[in-house]
Every structure is written in structure tokens, then in C-alpha cells.
Amino acid sequence: MFDPLQSQRNYTVIQKSVRTVIEGAVQLGGMVTYEKVEWCTQQDGSSCGVWCVAVLDMLLSNASWDDCLHRLLPYLRMRLLYKALAFVGKEAA
């Protein structure tokens, strides 16, 4: 589980939501384990989506976090915007 703001309340909501919706949909009730991702924290109030995607990308590629990645935020925003526009363009065609 990942919450860029590292809020215990948010983690509780995430876990409850996943247990209720996802575990039931894939018929894995009670078989999913949860691990908090605490090595990335959001430094502003507007980049949570970018960090969620970045952390997922890092988990899938087994990459490690470095705090200098915060300086890449403008690049990550543009990268995601480009991918989103390409996706929307394909859907419209």
C-alpha cells in the first residue's frame, strides 16, 4: 500500500477498500497481505498521483528510492502527460 502523505488514516481506508472491493472481486478474501511503502513521502500538496505511479513503477522494476528523485517531479509530470495524451489519442481514433 502506498499513500504519498503517509497518513495512518489513509492507509486504513486503503486497506479496508482493497479488502472489500478487490479481494472479493478476485475471490482472494483474507489471502492478500499488505505492506506499507514508507520510503517515499510527498513534499507538496499536488503531486500524489505522480508519486503513486512512480512508486508502482519502482516496485514493478525492483528499483530503489533515492530522495533526489523529488527533483525529477517536473519530468515525471511531463512523462505522464505525454503517456496520457497518447492513450487518449488512441481511444479517440
Query: For the chain, what are the domain ranges?
Result: 8-92
Phi, psi (5° rounding) for residue 10?
-65, -40
Per residue in 8-46, pLDDT (tens digit) is: 898 899 889 888 888 888 888 888 888 888 888 888 888
Mean pLDDT of the chain: 88
Query: Model-level pTM greater than 0.85?
Result: no
Q: Which residues of 15-27 are buried (b: 16+ CB within 10 A; e: fewer)?
A: eeeeeeeeeeeee
Determine the pLDDT at residue 93: 66
Determine the pLDDT at residue 81: 94
Which one-letter DSSP state was computed for residue 52? Answer: H
Helix (H) or strand (E) holding 77: helix 73-92
Determine the pLDDT at residue 75: 95
